[in-house]
Amino acid sequence: MPKYNKPSADLVVDLINESNPSLPFPIETGKVLFTGLATRTPGEGEYQDTQIKVNAKNGTEYVGNKLLQYRRIDIGKLFRGTSIEIHRYSPANTSTSPYRLHQLLGDINAKYGLALTTDEVADLSFPAATDNYYPGIRTSKVNMVVASTSMAWKGTVEVRWVQAPQELQNLITQPELTGRLYPGGNDFSGAHPYVLDLEAYAIDFTETNAAGLNATGTIGSGIAAQVNAQQTLVDLLAQVTGKAYNMVSGNAGQPYGLFGCTYQKLALPNVLVPEANSRFYNSVVVLTYNHASNWGAGRLFMHHNV
Amino acid sequence: MSFQVASKDDLVALVNAKNSTTFTVADFDYSNPRVVAGSWQEELTDKNTAVRLLASEASAYQGNVVVLYDRLSLNALANISGWRVAADEPATTHDLIDAISIYTGIRFAPEDIEDVAITLDENGAGTAVISASPNSLGWIGNVNLPVVKGGALLDEQVTQPMLQGLNYPSASDADTYAEIYTYGYDFTTYTDQLIDLVEGTELVADDLTMVRDMLAAVDISSGKTLWNTDPESTEWSLAGAQIVKNGLNSASLPTNPNYKYVLGLQLRADLTIPKGTLYLHYNDPFDPNDF
């Protein structure tokens, strides 16, 4: 069986070579120009319905021209009994055309082994997808009409479009994702900021005055009662961890110096900080280490019950 | 007048144009041309050639006359686009006269140019030196002519202009073609079952019903509800189908290259719809864990 997935000019060039096996040089598509494509009436015992003149281009092995006769394939006959269906997602509204034919030509060629170009078929709009060919699925059809200028094809065949689910590939066009990071970055091979996130997570701060803190604040700032409440928190942190956590203003930016860091007090469970939700506690103070120095990174979770 | 016509034709045309005469080439005998520079017989002239035209015996004329004109320098041809020829292994420059005429229209006579050997490379390409004979009536000088292999006349070489095709999959253009019918179908869902069918055997028994069911499930076209296993039926019957191919797809088959495997079922010869060989395409089953 012949193969049809070649450009029309190539199909005709192959045909010339096959019918003329003794050519001194094979005809090549790039070295000839076809002109004067016309229909002809096949004579007695003939089926060749087309004529065309093949002209040698300058600088090739050939010179001159020759009038040829051959048959164009009727696409309707080739696909007799076969339904051409393209399943593809369309965002178009139900009452409007989902596609123009040229937009689906690549799909048609790939699925059915053709190589039709946009010059060879009329670019019709599919009608609104309401023909209900498959109940519950949007479908519509057009007649694909081959242009009279096609060298290898003629005729008409029905093409149906069927709404298909949206392609993930078309939605996720940025498959390279960024942002899954440890506080301070993922490179621990050299100097890395001290990561605070795990430091206080399991410590119970209920006995401090965390409950007295405002909803938001800055360590070392506020009225005396607030600063005192902050101090009880920091003191417990230092005691339990055995590290020199402090809120001395002169130590801001130094190791364990929390002066100037901001915090939020949040009731748990909380969608804003699902990572702080706990089956043991109903409140948390989330302190963010945001000093410009490079000593620390991340957040302290100070759980407590109120 | 044209530099492309034969030297004598052009010379006589020049005479006729200037003198309102109707001489033909055969009316004259021609002397050898004589180089002229600046003056001729004490008259100033810018022409480069003199030739004596003698009334030929066959003509109705008598006597002779010397005319002055310009022979063209071959060297100038190097400046004209299209000054090249393709020819099939010419030995000497005279072998190129016909090719030059075909490609450029310039009609050199053998007496216009020297007959010199041509050296060509293994591809049949090279450069020929075209030199005017001293006695050429139309030309002086010399020029390099690029030569490539070729020059075959399409009109002579294409002896079968009535081309055999383009062809439908069968000899008739009124069939439903099995090869086309399943070209766009994907049977990967059934790879495990299909891969075990044995090439070179007839499709029988459970395998026959299995393939019938697969077709009924995948088919969206006119035969969807018609596939059967009835050996008496001449339409859409798989009974008697031969497994002519099962395994890796191949570029030599008329199959869909998007698939790795293909099952070829040559349908019973007396089947009228569809006709030919059904190709069921399938791939390895998709494994989401295989990247």
Picking from B157, B165, B180, the nearest residue to A82 by CB comes out as B180
Please write the tens of the pLDDT for every residue from A216-241: 999 999 999 999 999 999 999 999 99
Picking from A2, A24, A60, the nearest residue to B166 by CB comes out as A2
- Mean pLDDT across the stretch A238-249? 94
Using DSSP, state whether B27 is helix, strand or coil: helix
**Beta-carbon separation of B157 and A20 below 8 A:** yes
In whole angstroms, what is the distance from residue B120 CA to residue A287 CA?
88
- B106 and B41 fall within a common domain: no
Q: Which amino acid is at A45?
A: G
Least confident of A50-54, A92-96, A232-236, B190-194: A92-96
> What CA–CA distances, in Å, run from B166 to A73, A247, B55, B171, B272?
6, 89, 63, 11, 22
Q: Residue B111 gets which letter from DSSP?
A: T
Could you give the ipTM of this predicted complex?
A: 0.74
Domains identified in chain B, total number: 3
- B101 and B53 fall within a common domain: no
User: Domain end: B49, B70, B91, which one?
Assistant: B70
A159 lies within 8 A of chain B by CB: no
Least confident of A28-32, A171-175, B184-188: A171-175
**CB proximity list for B157: less than 8 A, separation 6 or greater:** A20, A23, A24, A62
Reported confidence tier of residue A206, pLDDT bands at 50, 70, 90 = very high
Picking from A47, A61, A67, the nearest residue to B152 by CB comes out as A61
pLDDT of residue A77: 94
Please report whether residue B103 resides in a domain: yes
| Segments forming the whole domain that contains residue B25 | 7-70
Please report whether residue B173 resides in a domain: no
Q: A282 to chain B nearest CA, in Å?
A: 41
- Mean pLDDT across the stretch B261-270? 93
Q: Tell me the residue length of chain B.
A: 291
Chains A–B, number of C-beta pairs less than 8 Å apart:
144
In whole angstroms, what is the distance from residue A194 CA to residue A298 CA?
8
- B213 and B252 fall within a common domain: yes
Please report whether residue B62 resides in a domain: yes
- Mean pLDDT across the stretch A32-54? 93
In whole angstroms, what is the distance from residue B249 CA to residue B262 CA?
5
- B89 and B109 fall within a common domain: yes
For B201-268, give the DSSP string. SB--HHHHHHHHHHHHHH--STTTTT-B--TT-SBSB-TT-EEEEEEE--TTSSS-TT-SEEEEEEPP
User: Domain end: B70, B92, B118, which one?
Assistant: B70
Query: Is residue A1's pLDDT more than 80?
Result: no
Query: Is residue B122's pLDDT more than 90?
Result: no
- B25 and B106 fall within a common domain: no
User: Domain end: B40, B70, B100, which one?
Assistant: B70
**Beta-carbon separation of B168 and A54 below 8 A:** no
- B260 and B187 fall within a common domain: yes
A41 lies within 8 A of chain B by CB: no
pLDDT of residue A63: 87
Provide the mean pLDDT of chain A.
Answer: 92
Longest CA–CA separation in chain A, Å: 113
Chain B contacts in chain A segment 64-83 (CB below 8 A): 64-74, 77-83
pLDDT of residue A257: 95
Picking from B88, B160, B221, the nearest residue to A82 by CB comes out as B221
pLDDT of residue B94: 92
What residues in B contact A24, CB-CB < 8 Å?
A: 88, 152, 157
What residue of A is the nearest CA neighbor of B253?
A: A1
Residue B168 burial class via C-beta count within 10 angstroms: exposed 0-12, middle 13-18, buried 19 and up: buried
Please report whether residue B171 resides in a domain: no
Reported confidence tier of residue B1, pLDDT bands at 50, 70, 90 = low
- Mean pLDDT across the stretch B176-202? 91
- B84 and B30 fall within a common domain: no
The domain that holds B81 is classified in CATH as 3.10.430
**Beta-carbon separation of A20 and B88 below 8 A:** no
Please report whether residue B191 resides in a domain: yes
- B117 and B186 fall within a common domain: no
pLDDT of residue B42: 82
Query: Is residue A132's pLDDT more than 90?
Result: no
Please report whether residue B28 resides in a domain: yes
A122 lies within 8 A of chain B by CB: no
- B60 and B145 fall within a common domain: no
What residues in B contact A23, CB-CB < 8 Å?
A: 152, 157-158
Burial B60-85 (b: 16+ CB within 10 A, else e): eeeeeeebbbebbebeebeeeeebbb
As given in the structure block, the two tokens for residue B49 are 């050639």
- B275 and B192 fall within a common domain: yes
What residues in B contact A109, CB-CB < 8 Å?
A: none
pLDDT of residue A214: 94
Please report whether residue B255 resides in a domain: yes
- Mean pLDDT across the stretch A147-162? 94
pLDDT of residue A11: 93
Please report whether residue B144 resides in a domain: yes
- B34 and B104 fall within a common domain: no
**Beta-carbon separation of A84 and B184 below 8 A:** yes
- B233 and B204 fall within a common domain: yes
Picking from B149, B155, B222, the nearest residue to A64 by CB comes out as B155
Question: What percentage of chain B has pLDDT greater than the value 70?
Answer: 100
